[in-house]
C-alpha cells in the first residue's frame, strides 16, 4: 500500500485590520485600568484629606504596573 503524503496545515496570517482592532482594544483597556486607578486614588485622598496624595500615587503606580502586565500577557498569547 502506498502512503499518501500528509498535508501540512498552514497557519493563516491575521489580516492587518484584525491586528489593528486587537491592539487598539488593548490600548483602550490599558487606559481604562490606569484611569480607574488614578480616579480611585483621587477619591480616596479626598475622603482621607491628607496633605500628601498617597493613595493617588500608589494606585496610579499599581494601575500602570497592572496594565503593563495585562498587555505583556496578552501580547505573548
User: For the whole model, what pTM was predicted?
Assistant: 0.75
Reduce the DSSP state of residue 20 to 3 states and report it: helix
| The pLDDT of residue 10 | 57
Per-residue pLDDT tens over the stretch 17-68: 888 888 899 999 999 999 999 999 999 999 999 999 999 999 999 999 999 9
pLDDT band at 7 (very low <50, low <70, confident <90, very high): low
Evaluate if residue 11 carries a pLDDT over 90: no
Query: For the chain, what are the domain ranges?
Result: 33-76
pLDDT band at 6 (very low <50, low <70, confident <90, very high): low
What is the distance between the alpha carbons of residues 37 and 66, in angstroms, rounded to a whole number?
A: 10
Q: Which of 6, 22, 2 is nearest to 14 (CA)?
A: 22
Amino acid at each position: 500500500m502506498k502512503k499518501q503524503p500528509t498535508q501540512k496545515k498552514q497557519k493563516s496570517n491575521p489580516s492587518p485590520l484584525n491586528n489593528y482592532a486587537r491592539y487598539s482594544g488593548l490600548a483602550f483597556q490599558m487606559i481604562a485600568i490606569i484611569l480607574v486607578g488614578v480616579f480611585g486614588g483621587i477619591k480616596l485622598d479626598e475622603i482621607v484629606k491628607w496633605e500628601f496624595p498617597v493613595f493617588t500615587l500608589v494606585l496610579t503606580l499599581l494601575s500602570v504596573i497592572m496594565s503593563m502586565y495585562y498587555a505583556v500577557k496578552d501580547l505573548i498569547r
